[in-house]
C-alpha cells in the first residue's frame, strides 16, 4: 500500500477510535485520543483510549490488552499521531515499534513542540505510516486542544452585554440587567462550555461576581469553568469568587500573552472573558480575541459607560475589522457573534 491510500477498514476503525477518544476527559493538558488495532486481515484485535494525565496513552492502553507478539504485523489506527517524547509515560511511537506493529494510520499530526515526530520515528523503524484519515472529523473533536497546542494559548472569547448605543451600564454604574433572561441563560451555557472564565479586579470589586455556570433552575452545572482574575488589586477575602468550586487563578494582566501561555500550561484551552470594559478592551487592543460575543438590548442609555474603551485607534483606517459569524434572537435581545479578520502575516 502506498502513502495516501487507506482502506474501508481503516476508515471504519478510525470512526471507532473517534468514539473511544471522546470517552476521555474533555478538559486538561492532554488530548482525547482513541486507538484501534487491526489484524493484517482487518479484524479488530484491541481498543484503547486515553483516560487523562498520568494514565496510559491510547496506543499503550490498546497494546496492553494483547498477548505478547499478538500485534506483530498489525495496523494501529489512532486519532492523533503517536507521540515521540517521554513525559509521565514513554513514547507511544516506541511502544508500537517494540510491539511489532507493521503499519500506523492516524488522523491529525501532533502539533506539540516536544511530542511531535512520532510518524518520522515510526518510518525510520520501517513501519508504514498513513496520515489524514478522517482528519476533518478528528480536527473538530480536538478543536480547542489543537488550537491551544498550536498557538500556545487558550482560544479567547470576549463577551459583553450592552444597550443599542453601546453602553455597558447607566451613568450611575448600574448594569443589572441590561439584557433579559434568555440572553443570560445563553451566557451561562457558554460559560459551562469554556475551560475558564475571566474578569478584571475592577469587576470583582464592583459587582462581586461568582463566576459560575448555572442551569435553567439556578443550580450549579457539574463542570464549572476555572475562575481567572486579572489585575494587581487584591481580591477581598469574602468575595464570591473565593467560594467558587475551583480556586481562582490570579494574574497581573501586565503581559496578556504571557498570562495566556501560563493558562495553557495549566491545561486551559478556552477562556471566556466577561468583563469589564477595561479587560475586554485590553484583549481586543492586544489582538488576542478570537471571537467576540455582543448581547444587544433594545435600549438606550447614553452617558460615559461604554462597553469597550480605548483600543489605541486614532483613525478610521485603523479600525479593527471583524466578520459576522451569526446573529441570533434571544427573547427581546440580539446576540451578535463575530470573528476578527486575520492581520497581514497571520
Residues labelled as active-site residues: 59
Q: CA distances (Å), 142 to each of 19, 52, 58, 97, 116, in order?
A: 13, 14, 15, 26, 16
Query: What cell does 295 get?
Result: 448581547
Tell me the C-alpha distance between 75 and 268, whole Å.
33
Which helix (H) or strand (E) segment holds residue 192: the answer is helix 181-193
Q: What φ, ψ does residue 167 adopt, rounded to 5°?
A: -95, 135
Among the listed residues 157, 231, 226, 158, the one whose alpha carbon sits nearest the alpha carbon of residue 196: 226
Q: Which residues pair with 197 in a beta bridge?
A: 227, 272
H or E element, residue 272: strand 270-275
Cα diameter, the chain: 75
Q: CB within 8 A of 62, min separation 6: which ones?
A: 35, 36, 37, 46, 47, 48, 76
| Neighbouring-strand partners of residue 158 | 273, 292
Q: Which residues pair with 294 in a beta bridge?
A: 160, 336
Closest CA to 99 of 61, 130, 134: 61
Find out whether 45 and 71 touch, Cβ atoms under 8 Å.
yes
User: What letter would DSSP give residue 9?
Assistant: H
Chain centroid to Cα 166, Å, comes to: 29
C-alpha grid cell, residue 315: 483613525
Q: Which residues pair with 238 in a beta bridge?
A: none
3-state per-residue secondary structure call for 99-128? HCCCEEEEEECCCCCCCCCHHHHHHHCCCE
CB 269 within 8 A of CB 148: yes
Amino acid at each position: 500500500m502506498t502513502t495516501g491510500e487507506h482502506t474501508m477498514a481503516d476508515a471504519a476503525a478510525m470512526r471507532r477510535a473517534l468514539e473511544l477518544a471522546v470517552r476521555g476527559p474533555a478538559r486538561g493538558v492532554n488530548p482525547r485520543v482513541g486507538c484501534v488495532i487491526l489484524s493484517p486481515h482487518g479484524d479488530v484485535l484491541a481498543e484503547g483510549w486515553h483516560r487523562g494525565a498520568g494514565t496510559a496513552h491510547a496506543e499503550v492502553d490498546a497494546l496492553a490488552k494483547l498477548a505478547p507478539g499478538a500485534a506483530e504485523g498489525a495496523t494501529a489506527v489512532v486519532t492523533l499521531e503517536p507521540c515521540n517524547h517521554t513525559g509521565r509515560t514513554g513514547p507511544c511511537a516506541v511502544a508500537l515499534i517494540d510491539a511489532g506493529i507493521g503499519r500506523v494510520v492516524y488522523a491529525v499530526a501532533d502539533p506539540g513542540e516536544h511530542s511531535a515526530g512520532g510518524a518520522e520515528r515510526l518510518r525510520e523503524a520501517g513501519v508504514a505510516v498513513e496520515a489524514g484519515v478522517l482528519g476533518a472529523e478528528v480536527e473538530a473533536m480536538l478543536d480547542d486542544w489543537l488550537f491551544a497546542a498550536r498557538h500556545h494559548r487558550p482560544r479567547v472569547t470576549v463577551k459583553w452585554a450592552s444597550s443599542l448605543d453601546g453602553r455597558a451600564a447607566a451613568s450611575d454604574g448600574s448594569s443589572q440587567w441590561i439584557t433579559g433572561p434568555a440572553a443570560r441563560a445563553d451566557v451561562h451555557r457558554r460559560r459551562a462550555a469554556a475551560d475558564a472564565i475571566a474578569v478584571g479586579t475592577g469587576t470583582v470589586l464592583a459587582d462581586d461576581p461568582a463566576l459560575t455556570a448555572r442551569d435553567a433552575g439556578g443550580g450549579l452545572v457539574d463542570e464549572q469553568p476555572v475562575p481567572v482574575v486579572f489585575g494587581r488589586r487584591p481580591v477581598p477575602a469574602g468575595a464570591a469568587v473565593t467560594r467558587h468550586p475551583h480556586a481562582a487563578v490570579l494574574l497581573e494582566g501586565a503581559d496578556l500573552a504571557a498570562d495566556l501561555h501560563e493558562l495553557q500550561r495549566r491545561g486551559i484551552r478556552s477562556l471566556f472573558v466577561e468583563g469589564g470594559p477595561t479587560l475586554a478592551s485590553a484583549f481586543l487592543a492586544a489582538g488576542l480575541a478570537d471571537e467576540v460575543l455582543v448581547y444587544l438590548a433594545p435600549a438606550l442609555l447614553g452617558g460615559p459607560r461604554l462597553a469597550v474603551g480605548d483600543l489605541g485607534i486614532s483613525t478610521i483606517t485603523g479600525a479593527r475589522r471583524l466578520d459576522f459569524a451569526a446573529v441570533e434572537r434571544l427573547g427581546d435581545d440580539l446576540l451578535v457573534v463575530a470573528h476578527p479578520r486575520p492581520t497581514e502575516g497571520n
